[in-house]
A and B are shown apart, each in its own frame.
Chain A
Amino acid sequence: MALNIGPAHPATHGALRFLVELDGETITKASTEIGYLHRAFEKHAEHSTWSQVIPYTDRLNYCSSLMNNVGYCFAVEKLLNIEIPDRAKFIRVIVAELGRIMDHLICVGTSAVDLGALSNFWYFYNVREQIYDFTERLCGARLTTNYTRIGGVMRDLPPDFDSGMRKVLKSLDRAVRDVTRLLERNRIFIDRTQGVGAVSKEDAISWGFTGPCLRASGVPYDIRKAQPYYYYDTFDFEIPVGTTGDTYDRLMLRVEEIRQSQKIIEQALDRIPEGPILVNDPKVALPPKEKVYGSIEGLMNHFMLLVDGIKPPKGEIYAATEAANGELGFYIISDGGARPYRIHCRPPCFPICAAYGKMVEGGMIADAVAVLGSLNIVVGELDR
């Protein structure tokens, strides 16, 4: 029997379509159809200036939009070959780890709902709302943050960020403890997730998995440790690694990563230096408003930056950051003009979704839903 798990379905977490052939409850063949959320990010980016692309990047992985902003600006700054000030680097680390925490909270919360465990969703989303209060104070928006700029960040941390954030991290601690107690040794959860959708190490590497799905299969690859950026090599944190690569490992690994991200944020809040948040380069970053309204050079600088735009030299760059789902890569070609010549975004969940069809073959429909939840496929990122 052929079954269509259509694009509008509560268990697919987005607009994804699966066509499965069933023999009773067992799936004999499965294929995936994507593209329901394709919004032509790459084509739009070719027609916008370098800074106008940043709001488009928010909407890639909308669950952790701050990480997309950081990833894109990281790539453009590498292309321009500029160094952003230290305070901006630490702010970006704090904000990226907040994005990672938010994404993992969504993933574990909604996967548990798919399996029938409803309370975890509320514990995790409560903390998410508290973090949203902070992103709103930081950049004005809860979800589509548009926070980083090429050369730094848009606005400095508000004065009560430090104490407020530590309170939120305490409540995150409690929520993680509650959810772990509810799920870790729960008989139903273990039966539904252990041994389900296991991916071997060789398969995971060949399929191009990165991030929590690769680490659950036993490969300790994390860009923050392998090719560190923004002082990640000076922070003290561990990367959890799983053993079997099944659904249980993937979900529990994400909960552990929330704890590690919490450690990083606390260390970054302790160590953050004072200083400027935008690089002091007139060709890249807008001058402060006092100069714009006070001197003719500031006014001309502001005008030329907004009308002409940033002009990186001719060249190409591939810069990868460790996003919540894995390696988020931006491949950018510049022809020296005010608009990018070509931007290609390598979404971390693209190869993971490609492997999904093979992962569920031979299992049951209920297992297919459990596996899909643990892969954390965000359709905004998948389709761009």
Chain B
Amino acid sequence: MILERLQEKFAPEILSCHQDLGDLTIVVKKDRLHDILESLKTDPDLAFEMLMDVCGADYLAFGEAAEKPRFEVVYHLYSLSKNHRLRLRVKVPEDDMKVPTAIDLWKSADWHEREAHDLFGLEFVGHPNLKRLLLFEGFEGHPLRKDYPMEKRQKIPVPEEKLK
């Protein structure tokens, strides 16, 4: 039912859909993402009042067809009134990592998007405070990407006075 509702308005953006292992998952393109999220929240039959999670995923090393586009933003939504869940996966290519922010729809997107930006480098357009969250300010790189080696060390920034 959720899929039909979305297909009425956003059929060209929906790439695929499956319901493996009991989770409904819809994969969409990046265009009109904000409209899709808004309709998921406001449509009375879908009514996803809670945004549980926003995270990123890097498909660089995912087996034979290392998939293009490389990144994904995954939204986990839950509806309190209808008691159903949805996973929305948005494909994001490496050369254009800008995604519209969901902070005007759900306030919980605030820190989740900051964390995704911190660890993957995804840019959420319209976010009022897109700074690093978990890592320190002088950190270089985005560690959860597959090409960031596990053993890499960072230079710890030292305040200027101590150097003198």
Contact = CB atoms under 8 A, between A and B. Distances in A.
A is bound by B: yes
Interface of A: 34-35, 38, 40, 42-44, 47, 78-79, 81, 203, 205-208, 210, 219, 221, 226-227, 314-318, 320, 327, 329, 331, 333, 335-336, 341-342, 344, 346, 350-351, 353-355, 383-384
B83 A227 contact: yes
A205 B53 contact: no
A205 B50 contact: yes
Interface string B78-100: 00100101010000000000000
A43 B58 CA distance: 12
B49 A40 contact: no
Contacts of A203: 107
B6 interface: no
A176 to B, nearest CB: 30
A221 B93 CA distance: 37
B130 to A, nearest CB: 14
A344 B108 contact: no
Contact of A346 (B25, B52, B132, B150): B52
Nearest to A341: B62
Interface in B58-74: 58, 61-63, 74
Contacts of A314: 63
Contacts, number: 94
Contact of A34 (B23, B133, B144): B133
Nearest to A347: B53
B28 interface: no
A78 B85 CA distance: 16
B111 interface: yes
A44 B49 CA distance: 33
A78 B21 contact: yes
11 contacts: A43-B144, A78-B22, A316-B20, A318-B85, A333-B57, A335-B63, A336-B63, A346-B52, A353-B111, A355-B107, A384-B134
A355 B108 CA distance: 8
A329 B76 contact: yes
B112 A350 contact: yes
A217 to B, nearest CB: 12
A331 B53 contact: yes
A331 B74 contact: yes
B111 A351 contact: yes
Contact of B76 (A38, A78, A331): A331
A208 B50 contact: yes
Nearest to A31: B129
Contacts of A333: 57
A226 B53 CA distance: 18
A43 B143 contact: yes
Contacts of A207: 107-108
A141 to B, nearest CB: 26
A69 to B, nearest CB: 20
A60 to B, nearest CB: 14
Given A35-B133, A351-B108, A47 B25 contact: no
Contact of A206 (B76, B107, B133): B107
A317 B18 CA distance: 12
Contact of B53 (A221, A336, A346): A346
